[in-house]
Structure 1
Amino acid sequence: MHLLAHRGCTQQHPENTLAAFASALALGFTGIETDVRWSLDGEAILYHDRLSPRGQAVAALTRKELSHQAGFIVPSLNEALDAFPDAFWNIELKTPDGLASILATLGKIQHKTPILLSSFYHPLIQEAANTLDTYLGLLFASRPLSVNTLLEINYASSKINTLIWDFDVLDSLYLDEARRLGFAHFVYGASNEIEHEWCRKLALAGIITDYPEWVGLTSVPRLQ
């Protein structure tokens, strides 16, 4: 099972920073979950929120401007991949902006760096399936009505082989049905020790978490 640090280890470092990623890997995480957006100056940057701390659209800011507002250096996708080429990366596409450039970047390293590319914006992953051979996943914050949804996904592309679930909508029977169709499962959003233990019993491919102590890794004190 992959243990992925949600935006890195954020107990001591700002999320989605090189320091947070390094700390997570040092604790024993298999890899990192991170978020990609496109900056005004044409860079794939790792930043979760749609708006900056001052309420401006991230897409309307250069990386330097966003870093100034955030109070830390916002890394680029290239910097992170270069810094940690052996980590398992779950890269979430937040918007269609810069998609061709992002896919080209991932295409150059996909055979040496393990990558799970995912998005709530499912057409982006279908587009990625046309050019990439890496793991491709769909994020879900709601449970599909029926297994027919999964059959439609299979029909759209056999390369899309991973489903990433919000803990709130986990359904063990539905997971079993999807597994029989060839889908692997990841989960995010578990918030306490009991929820993490339940996830570990579901034969998941991975858990994306903010809590190293609840997946058997050594924790560090959280900043107050």
Structure 2
Amino acid sequence: MLRLAHRGLHRTAPENTLAAFALSLTAGFTGIETDVRLSADGEAVLYHDRNAPNGIAVATLSRSELSHLSGYIVPTLSEALDAFPDAYWNIEIKTPSVLPNCLAILKNHIHQQQLLVSSFHHEVALHVEKELHIDCGFLIAHRPAQLNELILSAMPHRHLRTLIWDYEVLDLDLLNQSFAQGFNNYVYGAQTEQEHLICHEFPLQGIITDHPEFVGLTSAPVRQ
């Protein structure tokens, strides 16, 4: 099972920062999951929340302003990919507005790095696959009534063969069905050791986690 650090290893460094990414690779993670948003000055910044700590929307702030409000330098997608060329990257595109920027950046890294682009905006994942022909996936936070309703749009796109499930909606039957139809299954959101053990029993190809100690990796010290 591929083990990805959720926003980097952020116990001793802010999430989605170069320091958190470096710590995750040192701890033994193969890959890194990160989030991309568009800042007001047109930068593809790595930031999960849609609002800064003071409640102002990230989309209305420049990268410099966002960094000041967050208390650390918010990195860009280009900086992270350049800094860790050997890592496997799961890049979650948070909003369609940052898609053009991501396409321009990813074009420069297609032949240099292992990339998986995902989004809750499934049309965004479809567009990336169509334009760049790189691995893409659908993020899923609900249990579909029928799997075919979910994956029908992905079938014509041969590089869109990954489903990334919220742990809350994991369903063994759906996992087996999707795997039988050629899809890889990843999971995010497992919190306890028991939940991680359950994930290892399921037909999953990847886990996105905050807990290296539950996936057999060395844990970094907990922030005091």
Alignment of 1:1-224 (within 5 A): 1-224=1-224
Whether the aligned pair in 2 keeps the contact of 1:37 and 1:45 (CA below 8 Å) is: yes
CA drift at 1:151? 4.6
Deviations 1:148-189, CA, capped at 9 Å, x for gaps: 224513345332100000000000111000111110010000
Q: CA RMSD in A?
A: 1.1
Distance across 2 between alignment mates of 1:4 and 1:200:
14
Runs of 5+ consecutive residues of structure 1 not aligned to the other structure = none
8 Å contact from structure 1 (residues 36, 92) kept in 2: yes
| CA distance in structure 1 between the aligned counterparts of 2:114 and 2:43, rounded to whole angstroms | 22
| 1:135 Cα deviation after fit | 1.0
- Distance in 1 of aligned mates of 2:64 and 2:219: 32
Provide closer, same or farther for how the CA distance between residues 116 and 158 of structure 1 changes in structure 2, counting only shifts above 3 A: same
CA displacement at 1:221 relative to structure 2 = 2.4
CA contact (8 A) 1:153 1:160 kept: no
Q: Find the residue that maps to 1:213 and give its secondary structure.
A: helix
State whether residues 107 and 131 of structure 1, in contact with CA within 8 Å, keep that contact through their aligned partners in structure 2.
Answer: no
CA distance in 2 between counterparts of 1:114 and 1:129 reads 14
Cα offset, 1:222, TM superposition: 1.2
User: Quick one: distance in 2 between partners of 1:151 and 1:12?
Assistant: 38
Task: Say how many residue pairs are matched.
Answer: 224
3-state SS, counterpart of residue 54 of structure 1: coil
Residues 151, 125 of structure 1: CA spacing in aligned structure 2 closer, same or farther, 3 A cutoff?
A: closer
- Per the TM alignment, residue 219 of structure 1 is displaced from its structure 2 partner at its CA by 0.8
Unaligned runs of 5+ in 2: none
Higher alpha-carbon deviation: 106-115 or 208-217: 106-115
Give the residue type in structure 1 aligned to 2:196.
H
Letter in 1 for 2:206: G
State whether residues 116 and 137 of structure 2, in contact with CA within 8 Å, keep that contact through their aligned partners in structure 1: yes
Runs of 4+ in 1 over 4 A off after TM superposition: none
What secondary structure does 1:130 align onto? helix
1:147 is displaced (CA, Å) by 2.2
Q: Could you give the per-residue CA deviations for residues 47-78 of structure 1, whole angstroms, max 9, x where no partner exists?
A: 00000111111000000000000000000000
Tell me the TM-score normalized by structure 2. 0.97
